[in-house]
């Protein structure tokens, strides 16, 4: 976790770092889980007095974590399905119509930090502009035909 925090730093919004680092994090978690499972299984064969109690406590903890994770995953999925089937959400057609009403005919659309907005303007794909904070010093749209 510390490595991921240091490696990505303040660049968290760029998903490309997470694409490359997430598999390494998953491998680390897998190694940790395998080592923990091996430790718990070795507890059963130890002869010292507290090993049996520690084994039972470890199994109870594992069951508790699995049940809690399952409950959270179920809650998340139910919420996702509820939001996806929400009849009050705007459709893409409605969203696109509102965006198209904002841009006068003949002008090229521009968005700030939301490049997916171009989907509402398929005919303007050659002149669409996405202005991001990192490009602020290099982009000059003053006096140009953008809306």
Inter-residue contact 108 to 124 (CB < 8 Å): yes
Between 132 and 40, residue with greater pLDDT: 40
> For residues 147 and 110, what is the distance between their CA atoms, to the nearest angstrom?
6
Of 143, 108, 141, 13, nearest to 117 by C-alpha is 108
pLDDT reported for residue 138: 56
- Residue 79 pLDDT exceeds 90: yes
Inter-residue contact 117 to 99 (CB < 8 Å): yes
- Residue 53 pLDDT exceeds 90: no
Q: Kindly report, residue by residue over 81-132, the tens digit of the pLDDT.
A: 998 888 888 888 888 899 888 888 878 888 877 777 878 888 877 777 777 6
| In the chain, where the domains are located | 1-43, 47-89, 92-135
**pTM tops 0.75:** no
Structure-block tokens of residue 87: 């009849």
User: Is residue 34 very low, low, confident or very high in pLDDT (cuts 50, 70, 90)?
Assistant: very high
pLDDT reported for residue 78: 97
């Amino acid at each position: 976790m510390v490595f991921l925090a240091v490696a990505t730093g303040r660049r968290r919004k760029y998903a490309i770092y997470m694409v490359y680092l997430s598999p390494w994090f998953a491998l680390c978690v897998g190694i940790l889980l395998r080592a923990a499972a091996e430790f718990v299984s070795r507890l059963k064969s130890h002869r010292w007095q507290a090993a049996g109690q520690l084994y039972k406590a470890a199994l109870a903890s594992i069951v508790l974590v699995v049940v809690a994770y399952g409950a959270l995953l179920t809650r998340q999925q139910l919420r996702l399905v509820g939001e996806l089937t929400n009849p009050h959400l705007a459709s893409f057609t409605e969203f696109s119509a509102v965006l198209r009403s904002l841009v006068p005919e003949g002008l090229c659309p521009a968005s700030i930090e939301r490049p997916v907005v171009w989907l509402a303007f398929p005919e303007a794909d050659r002149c669409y502009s996405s202005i991001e904070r990192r490009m602020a010093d290099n982009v000059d749209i003053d006096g140009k035909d953008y809306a």
